[in-house]
């Protein structure tokens, strides 16, 4: 029998007690993306509550995991408030409006730095959004931040980021896979219900397998690569990481 892990992240800190809200922060973060969408539509909680729960969890656990390189509290909450106001006004909204998402730091983002895990691009603020980011914004999904990765996606463990390795949330002595280990670790540790990755030779699928999440490399050409920093353009694909099919 395999021995238990030496070190694990405290996935549910004792400080996450029930508050005056109808659900605890832990309960909110444990929902699937589909359950979050249903709960938002039913008025069981707001996007601000849901987004803040994830931001609080990121603040608690990301120092140990290093899954996120950049967290956009202000931008994520602004989108969440916009969704809540629109829903209260009776507007028709996209299915996942108000559900938070994380984006691998290989996709260009206006207002957020894009580094591709490299000091060469440290602090670079793109003048445009990648198509995938444009689509997430049009879907009214609060973008929590940018996730860690092997530098320029050259790696399969997320140990080779210029900004330090990402840890597997189930065992801090183990890798989360790569190059998209930041996205898979964020989803596996309930720091996001969904995350965007890129896959050239397994960089979504392998991290998902290693962290107990689900990842897909879409059919070539199925998702635009515009605004995504290339490793091998004819093989790179943008795709999702989630906790269920």
Q: Catalytic residue numbers? A: 104, 179, 203
Which helix H or strand E contains 197, and what residues bound it? strand 194-199
Residue 142 near residue 80 (C-beta atoms within 8 A): yes
- Separation between Cα atoms, residue 69 and residue 145, nearest integer Å: 8
Q: Which two tokens stand for residue 149?
A: 């990765």
Contact 175, 159 (CB under 8 A): yes
Edge-to-edge order in the sheet of strand 143-147: 68-71, 143-147, 101-104, 194-199, 237-242, 214-215
DSSP string, 118-141: -GGGTT---SS--HHHHHHHHTT-
């Amino acid at each position: 029998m395999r021995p238990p892990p030496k070190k694990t992240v405290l996935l549910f800190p004792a400080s996450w007690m029930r508050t005056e809200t109808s659900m605890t922060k832990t309960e909110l973060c444990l929902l699937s993306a589909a359950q979050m969408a249903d709960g938002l539509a039913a008025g069981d909680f707001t996007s601000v509550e849901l987004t803040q729960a994830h931001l609080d969890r990121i603040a608690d656990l990301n120092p140990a995991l290093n899954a996120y390189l950049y967290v956009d509290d202000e931008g994520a909450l602004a989108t969440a408030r916009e969704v809540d106001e629109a829903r209260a006004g009776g507007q028709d909204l996209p299915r996942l409006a108000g559900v938070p998402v994380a984006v691998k730091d290989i996709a260009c983002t206006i207002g957020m730095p894009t580094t591709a895990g490299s000091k060469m691009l440290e602090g670079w603020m793109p003048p445009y959004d990648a198509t995938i980011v444009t689509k997430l914004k049009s879907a009214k999904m609060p973008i929590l931040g940018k996730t860690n990765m092997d530098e320029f996606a050259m790696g399969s463990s997320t140990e080779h980021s210029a900004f330090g390795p990402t840890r597997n949330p189930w065992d801090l002595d183990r890798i989360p896979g790569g190059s998209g280990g930041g996205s898979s670790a964020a989803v596996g540790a309930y720091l996001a219900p969904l995350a965007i990755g890129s896959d050239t030779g397994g960089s979504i699928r392998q991290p998902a397998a290693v962290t107990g999440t689900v990842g897909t490399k879409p059919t070539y050409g199925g998702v635009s690569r515009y605004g995504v920093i290339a490793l091998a353009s004819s093989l790179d694909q943008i795709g999702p990481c989630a906790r269920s099919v």
